[in-house]
Chains A and B, each alone.
Chain A
Amino acid sequence: MTRIDLEFTIDALDFVHAGEAASRVKRTLEHVGMEREVVRRASIAAYEAEMNIVIHSVGGTMKVTILPDCVEIVATDRGPGIEDIDLAMQEGYSTAPPHIREMGFGAGMGLPNMKRCADDIRIESAPGRGTTVRVIIRPRHAA
C-alpha cells in the first residue's frame, strides 16, 4: 500500500525523550526520499507539535500519515485545551512558566512556525477537554 501510518505516544514533561518522535518522522521521510523542503517543513511541524504536547498538555499522541503527495500530522492531547486559539497563534504569545523558559522553550513561536510550514493547519480545542492540531504538508510538485 502506498501509505505509511506512524503513531507515537507522547508523555507530558518527558524531556528525556522529547524530540524522538519528530526525529523518527524525519528519518522515515528520508527513507521515503521525499523532497527536501517537505522533509524540512514536516520536521519542524512534527517537532513543534510534539513539544507542545510535552510542555503544555497532560499527554497525548501524534499520528503521522505519509502519502506520495501529502504528509499529515495530527497531534491530539487529553487536556487542558487552549482558551483562545487566535491568541495562541500569535507570534510571541506563550503561557510557558519560567522554569520551562529556562530550558529554552516558550518563545511563543511553535504554532506560528507550524503555520508557516503547513499548506493547511487546523486547531480544535476545548478548555478542559483537549487539543487537536492537524497539519497538512504537500510537496511543491503536487501542491
Chain B
Amino acid sequence: MTTRYFHSVTLDKEKCRGCTNCIKQCPNEAIRVREGKARILEERCIDCGECIRICPNHAKLAVTDTLEKLSEFKYSIALPAPSIYGQFEPGVSIEEVLRAFIDIGFDDVFEVALAAEAVTYATRRFLENYRGSRPLISSACPAVVRFIQIHFHSLLDHIVPIDTPMEVAGAMAKAWAEQALGLKKEEVGVFFISPCPAKVTAIKQPVMKEKSNVDGAISISLLYGLLSKRVSTQMKTKGVGCSTHLAGKKETEEESHGKEGHHREGWVDLVRPLRGDNPFLSTGRGIGWGRAGGEAQALGGWSILTVDGIHNVRGVLEQVERKKLLGIDFIEAQACTGGCVGGCLTVQNPFVARVRLRVLAEQHWNKRPALDEDCLDNLIAAGAFTTKKVEPRPVMALDEDVARAIAKMDILEKTVKELPGLDCGACGSPNCRTLAEDIVRGIALETDCTFKLRERVKALAEEMADLAGKIPPAMGLEKTGGESSEGK
C-alpha cells in the first residue's frame, strides 16, 4: 500500500506555531501536531479546506497554479466557477466579469455555469431512467466524493456517475479550440478558476476518471484583485472589451484525431452554435450552481435534499446509510457552508456572495438556454458524460487483516479508558480517542498525554524518593532501623 496522494492543502512550516486549532476543526481527524508543527495525514485528507479557514497564523495554504502557467500553452482558456459571479459588487454584470479574464491574459473564457446546465440535463436523463436504490448523490463536490470514499463505502454506488461541470466545461472548451483554431490538444490549456483546494486536487488526482480534462487551477482569490480592477475600468468605458470569445478563425473541417474523437465532435457540435461576441451564455440554472441549493433548483421536479457543510453532510449520509431517508431521490451535498461561494479560496463573505448569486440567477432565469438538447442527447448516448465507478479508500482500518485489526481495536478501547477524557488536544491529536488510535497505530505514545506524563513522573519521583531511602547496608547507618526495608 504505497499510494501517493496529491494534496492541494499543505502546511507552511515557518508560519505554523503548533497551536492545535486546526486538528480539532478537521472533519476527518487528519491533522496532528508533532514536534511543534501540524502534520497532515495525507491518506485521510479530503482537501475540504476547513483547516485553511481556521488557522489563525495562515499557516495552511492551498497549492494552486498561477498565471505563469498560461505561457506553457499556445492558447489558454479560463473556466470560471459559477461562484465567482457572486464575488463582485451588485452593479457588475457577468459579461463584464467574463471579459475581464481576456484582459488579464487569457485568450478565451468559457463558463462552467454553462457546462453545469449540460450536467443538469444529463443528470435529469439519468434520474429518469434510474431504477437502482435512492437517493442518488451528486458528484459535483470532490471533497464530498472523497469523504464517501473513506467513510461511506456502502454509498459509493449512490454517487451519480456523471462528470462535474468543471470537467464538462474542460471538454467543451478544449474540443472547440482544437477544432475551430486548428490547434493540437497539447497547445490548448484550460484553467479552472477555483473556489477551493478540493477542485485543484480533483484535477491533479481525479477519482472519477483516469485523467482530468482540465490542465490547471487558479484560485479565485489570486485573480480577484486583477479582475476587479478590469471590471471597474470596463464599467467606465462600456462597450470596450475583447470579443475573441469562441469567435474561432475558420472552421477547419479536419477529421478528428485522438481516441476521444467521437466525443470531441459531439462537444464541438454542442459549442458551434454558441459562437459569438458575448461570452455570457449561461442562464440562471447554471449560475445558481455556485451556491447550495442551486443544483437542486436547476434539476427541479424531484424530491431533492440539499445539505452543505461537511459535518452536516456526514449526518445526512449516516441517515442514508441507515435507510432512514425515504422518499428522497437526490442529494446535493457540498462540503462548504453555503456551497461553493463558501469555498476557502473565495474572497467575498459567503452569505453575501450567496444572495448576490441568487439575485443573478433570478435575473437570468428566463433566458433561453443556449445548449441544444439533441446534441446533448447524442453526447449522453455516446457516454461523454459517464465517469468510472468510485472505489473505496479504506484508510481508517487499523490493519489490513480483520482479526489483527480487531485485536488492535480492543487495545484502543482499553487505552481510551485509561486516558483522562478531556479532549484537550495538548498531545497533538484531536481528542483522547484519536490519541489512543495513534498509540495503537504506533505513531504516538501514551506519555504524549500531559496528564499521563505527569502520572508517570509522579510515580517515578516516588520511586526515586523510595530508592533514596534505601541506603546500601555497607554504608552502615543503623539508625533507620527496619522501617525503610520494605523491599519488593
Interface residues in chain A, defined as those with a beta carbon under 8 Å from any beta carbon in chain B: 1-4, 6, 19, 22-23, 26-28, 30-34, 36-37, 39-40, 43-44, 47-48, 66-68, 104, 107, 113
Contacts and interface: CB of A to CB of B under 8 A. Distances in A.
B396 A30 contact: yes
A113 B322 CA distance: 9
Contacts of A4: 406, 409-410, 413
A48 B324 CA distance: 10
Contacts of A37: 154
Q: Top 5 closest A-B pairs, CB basis?
A: A33-B397, A40-B154, A36-B153, A68-B403, A30-B396
A31 B321 contact: no
Nearest to B441: A31
A67 B405 CA distance: 10
Contacts of B300: none
B406 A22 contact: no
Given A37-B154, A40-B154, 14 more contacts: A2-B403, A2-B406, A3-B410, A4-B409, A6-B413, A26-B321, A28-B409, A32-B406, A33-B398, A34-B402, A36-B154, A39-B153, A43-B318, A44-B323
A132 to B, nearest CB: 22
13 contacts: A22-B322, A26-B321, A27-B396, A28-B409, A30-B151, A30-B397, A31-B396, A31-B398, A31-B405, A31-B412, A33-B394, A33-B397, A33-B400
Contacts of A26: 318, 321
B154 A32 contact: no
Given A31-B437, A32-B402, A68-B403, A23 B410 contact: no
Contacts of B323: 44, 113
Given A22-B322, A32-B398, A33-B394, A2 B407 contact: yes
A70 to B, nearest CB: 11
A31 B154 contact: no
A31 B403 CA distance: 11
Contact of B321 (A3, A40, A67, A104): A40
Contacts of A113: 323
A66 B412 CA distance: 14
A67 B400 CA distance: 15
B369 interface: no
Interface in B303-344: 318, 321-324, 326
Interface size on B, as a range, is: 20 to 34
A114 B154 CA distance: 17
A66 B153 contact: no
Where chain B touches its partner, the secondary structure class is helix
Interface string B400-422: 10110111111011000000000
Contact of A66 (B399, B408, B409): B409
Contact of A68 (B326, B406, B412): B406
B248 interface: no
B413 A47 contact: no
Contacts of B321: 26, 40, 43-44
B182 interface: no
Contacts of A40: 154, 321
Given A3-B406, A66-B406, A68-B406, A39 B400 contact: no
A1 B411 CA distance: 9
A31 B322 contact: no
A105 B79 CA distance: 46
A111 B397 CA distance: 30
B441 to A, nearest CB: 10
A101 B419 CA distance: 40
B155 to A, nearest CB: 9
Nearest to B154: A40
A63 to B, nearest CB: 13
Given A33-B402, A43-B321, A1 B153 contact: no
Interface in B142-170: 151, 153-154
A26 to B, nearest CB: 8
Interface in B358-412: 392, 394, 396-400, 402-403, 405-410, 412
A143 B22 CA distance: 43
